[in-house]
Amino acid sequence: MNVSKTGFGTHEGQEIEQYSLSNDQGMTVKVITYGATITSIAIPGADIVCGFDSLEGYFSDAYLNNAPYFGCTVGRYSSRIKDGKFEIDGQQYTVAVNDGTNHLHGGIVGFNKQIWSAEEVEEKDAVGVKMSRKSPDMEEGYPGNVEVSVTFLLTNDNELNISYEAETDKATPLSLTNHSYFNLSGFKQTIENHKAQVSAKSHLKPDGTNVPVGEIEDLSGGAADLSKGKRFKEAFSELETGFEHYFLFDKDAWQLEKVAEFEDEESGRKLEISTTEPGMLFYSGYFTSDELKRENGDQYGRYRGFCCETHRYPNGPNIADSPKSVTKPGEKYTSKTVYKVSW
């Protein structure tokens, strides 16, 4: 097993570094300090996530105009906050509105556009990198000085463990996730023939601006029900723009459990996802631009990558009884998600 560091370019006068994590099975994960972003998850014969091999890819007009958030760490709060407003302890806060009338993925300059500090991590059966930053009080409108870290750890069992920790000096919304898009065919095909199974029979129903406001909708037996497993194309035939559903997992809250499995039968590749989180914003990439591709020609675009954003409830600060959407001083925010790959 090995971890190595190389330069990945310069942004606003600061050096961006890339860390490569390799195990003994032929799996390599690459993460850059810009946005604590996964740029590559490579296994023998394929790279299975959307990303770029140079920093310029993340600043092309096609990428900036489409803003798909490939592989980045999202924060302070994942998904949408309705109208960019929330109230904590009687005080009203306004955060940046960057998605129609709503706040999305931490705002205009969220965690995905910040440069993180990094240190290598080596354990007996794993190698990794820990990335950290301090988010100052009122960054993007959020209260509190927050110290946050995300650790990427690759094991010899072909598991990528992503662990988040944070502490704050004021009560603040926190919901962190990774935004990698997967295609187990190695982008030889769309994801339509992938078989998907998600341990959830309900989701948070969004309003007309695509933000949940608290209503839980049963999906049992419908097009979006993946609880028994189905090919994506079966669901796509009935869902006009595919999946953009916040699934509520059938699991014990805050326990690390397997929640989803995806398989490309032609290649024999499989992805299993486990998490401590209560749900997942599942997106099947309908709006991803067909102009985007990796430097080696791997083609991205509509239905060419699915995203499993495990995190707290979207719009959680505005939903009564939303679990752990606000972290308070003296509390420690923790979260863990595991991607296990087999081939």
Which residues carry out catalysis?
Answer: 179, 309
Question: Which helix (DSSP H) or strand (DSSP E) does residue 343 occupy?
Answer: none
CA distance 194 to 22: 26
The label of the residue with tokens 């669901």 reads 235
DSSP calls for 100-120: TTBEETT-TT-GGGSBPEEEE
Q: CA–CA separation, 278 vs 331, rounded Å?
A: 18
Q: Which helix (H) or strand (E) holds 236?
A: helix 232-236
Kindly compute the dihedral angle of the four CA atoms of residues 234, 202, 258, 31, in this order, to the nearest 10 degrees. Answer: 80
- Give, for 73, the enclosing helix (H) or strand (E): strand 73-74
- Tokens 């000096």, located at residue: 169
Contact by Cβ (8 Å): 39, 32: yes
